[in-house]
A = this chain, B = another copy of it.
Amino acid sequence: MKLSNKISGIKPSPIRKFFKYTEAAKKAGKKVYFLNIGQPDIKTPEVFMEAVRRDGREIIEYAPSAGMEVITSAVRKYYLRYGMDFSEDEIITTCGASEALRFIVDCICDSGDEIIVPEPFYTNYAAFVRASGGAIVPLTTYPENEYHYADRAAIEACVTPRTKAFLMTNPGNPTGVVLTPDEMDLIAQVAIDHDLFIISDEVYREFVYDGKPLKSFGQLDNVADRTIIVDSASKRFSACGARIGSVLSKNKELLESLLKLAQSRLCAPTLDQIGCAALYGLEQSYFDEVRAIYEKRRDAVYEELKKIDGIICTKPSGSFYITVKLPVEDAEAFLLWLLCNFDDNNETVMFTPAEGFYATDGMGRSEIRIAYVLDETSLRRAIELIRLALDKYKALGMK
C-alpha cells in the first residue's frame, strides 16, 4: 500500500510546526501578536448573512455545476465596472480560489509539464501543480531588487518545451508587489511569443494603494484567449469561510475542460453562492473604505519596519502582506526563539518564515512574511516587538 509520490512529495505546511510553540507561549501567559495569518479581521458585510437567512428553500439542493445564476451574474456585473465583459458562460464558480487553481492546473498540465511562477509565491501553488503531475519552475526574485519579476530575459530563461503557463498573484502574496501596466504588457508579450497561458490570481485585486489603478490581465485584449483569471470572495469581502471563487476565461476549449471538472464534483456550496452574490453587489464605497483601512495599516507597518536596523523591505503597493529580509541568518530559528525565549512585557510575536514561499532550496532563509490584518495599534506594537527582539538576539551573539 504505497502512497503516490506526487502527494508524498508535497511539503507539509511550514506554519504547522510552530503551532505547538505558539500554544506553549500562550499557555505560559504570553500575549502573542499573530502576523502570520491571511484571515482578514474586518467583518463580513451583513448582506451575506441577510441573503442566507432570507433564502427560504426547504431543500439545500445541488447548485448548477458552473455556478448559480445569482452568483455568475453578480460576478459578471462586478467585472463590467472595470471594463471587462465576461458572459456568464465564461465564468465558472468554484469552491474558493483554491479549487479554481486546481482545476486550471489540471486542465493544463499532464505529468512533466511546467508552469513558471515568480518566487517567493503562495505556498499552495506547489501543492496544486504537484497534484496535477506538473512542476513549478521558479523565477527567483530578490528583496534587494524589490522582488521584481517582469523581466523578459529572466522569464525566457525559465521557458522549456514543456512550459505551459506563467502563473502569478497580482497584487502579490507574499510580497505585496503590484505589476505596472508596462510590466503586464511585457508579460503578455512573452506569453504570446512562447504560446503560454497566463494564470492571473487576482484575489487581492481591490487592495491596491497610493491611488494606483486597479489593473487586470482581463483588460488586455491581445491575450484574451490565453488569460485565465482567478477570483475569490474570500479576501475582498472578508468571507474566507464561504469558499466561493471563480475562474474567468474567454478560451472556449479551456472552459469546456473546466466544466468537466466542475461537473465531476457537482457544485460549489449553494447557500454560500447566495451570500456571496450579495457581496459582489456591494457598492464601490465598500471597496474604498476597506482599501483605506489596509492602506493605513500598510503605512504603519512600513513606518515601524523602517526603524529596524539592517532590514531590507520595500513599501508594498498592494495586497495585505509585506516580505521583509531580516538581519538574521535563519528566520525560523529567530521565530522559535521569539516564541520560546523572548518577551517584552510578557508579549511576543508570530510571523511566517518566508523559506516556504520559495521552491529553490536555501532561498528566503532570512526573510519573513507579515500579514497586516490586525488593528494599527497592535501592528505597531508587533513590529516594535520584532525590533526589540532583534536587538536582544544580536546582543546575545546570535545570528
Contacts and interface: CB of A to CB of B under 8 A. Distances in A.
A111 B4 CA distance: 9
A322 to B, nearest CB: 21
Contact of A272 (B59, B63, B102, B269): B269
Contact of A260 (B61, B108, B127): B127
Number of copies of this chain in the oligomer? 2
A20 to B, nearest CB: 15
A242 B260 contact: no
Interface residues of A, number: 77
B270 A107 contact: no
B239 A60 contact: yes
A106 B43 contact: no
Interface in A193-244: 195-197, 225-226, 238-243
A52 interface: yes
Contacts of A61: 39, 238, 240-241
Contact of A241 (B43, B62, B256): B62
Given A52-B271, A240-B267, 5 more contacts: A3-B107, A53-B53, A61-B241, A127-B264, A131-B261
Interface of A: 1-8, 10, 12-13, 16, 39-44, 48-49, 52-53, 58-63, 95-96, 98-99, 102, 106-111, 113, 124, 127-128, 131-133, 164, 195-197, 225-226, 238-243, 251, 253-254, 256-257, 259-261, 263-272, 275
